[in-house]
Amino acid sequence: MNVLQTALDAIDLGAIYALAALGVGLVFSVMRLINFAHGELVAVAGFSVYALDGQPLWIRVIAGLASAVILALIMERVAFRPLRRAEPSTLLITSFAVSYLVQHLIIVVFGSRPLGVSFLQELSGDVAMGSLRLPRLEVVTVAATVMLLVGLIVFFHRTPLGIQMRAAAEDFTMARLVGIKANRVIATAFAISGCLAAFLAFIQVVQSGTVSYRMGLDLVLMAFVSAVVGGIGSLVGATLGGMVVGITSVCLQTFLPPDTRVYRDAYLFGLFLVFLIARPQGLIFRKADRERV
């Protein structure tokens, strides 16, 4: 059942990119910062799981989540808070520097070669659904992503902190004038992005069976592309953008003639540039985001 398999692959990749884009988009919406180091949150969570190989599952999961969240909060406090009023370009370079730093710290501690790790082996292999055999991991990924998204929607629409974050994302100064604590909102955004990163790390570890200092890199690049495609500044856009990019990637992989398939990424980024000619503001563009004269 090749078509269904491909469809599931597409949705699975779309879900992964959507979560990655959400993590990046969340921080951007409250701070106008594109966090390059988001990929390193993934890597750190992955290496925590690796380092605790042999321990019970729940310890490894908690360690992964905790390490990503803690690193995210440290980043915010040490590197980004002092620069909160700086130009977006400066923030961008700073996050690039943080990303570079953490990557090479990992190299110093763990070396640069990928390390094998066994984690949640129960999720590998296929699951039978009627006459179909589908990869268990992909089914779980899609299901878990849906649950996470629902959870985030509930958080943002029904809890006071979530509503405060949406207010801050829309109009940061006005949010302060209503008494919303700037630091708390930003720290929460980073913490949530850390959780999302950890989740992505778990998926990647199960999928590839390895961890490496580079494991977050490609993902975060796709997260940026997805966030831009969806419309930077919109969380719904980030999710949508992730789906679009993921599905496109799998379609390219499937439909490109076999000898050009190695150029898949070049095509993907090329399509990205073409997309930007047609719709530079992204798919979901709020009029409020346009620069007001």
For helices 235-255 and 217-230, angle between their N-to-C axes, nearest 10 degrees: 120
Selection from 50, 188, 25 nearest residue 111 by Cα: 50
d(CA 205, CA 117): 7
The residue assigned the tokens 């977050």 is 216
Nearer to another protein, 147 or 274 (CB): 274
**Positions in 175-234 near another protein (CB under 8 A):** 175-182, 217, 221, 224-225, 228, 232
**Positions in 86-115 near another protein (CB under 8 A):** 86-90, 92-94, 96-98, 100-101, 104-105, 107-108, 112
Least gap, CB of 174 to another protein (angstroms): 4
Through-space distance between the first and last CA atoms of the chain, rounded to whole angstroms: 55
User: Which residues contact residue 159 at a Cβ distance below 8 angstroms, ignoring those fewer than 6 apart?
Assistant: none
Backbone angles phi, psi at 180, to 5 degrees: -70, 130
170 binds another protein (CB under 8 A): yes
Least gap, CB of 97 to another protein (angstroms): 4
**Token couple for 32:** 């106008």
Least gap, CB of 28 to another protein (angstroms): 8
**Contacting positions for another protein (CB under 8 A):** 32, 34, 79, 82-83, 86-90, 92-94, 96-98, 100-101, 104-105, 107-108, 112, 160, 163-164, 166-167, 170-171, 173-182, 217, 221, 224-225, 228, 232, 262-263, 265-266, 269-270, 272-274, 276-277, 280, 286, 288, 291, 293
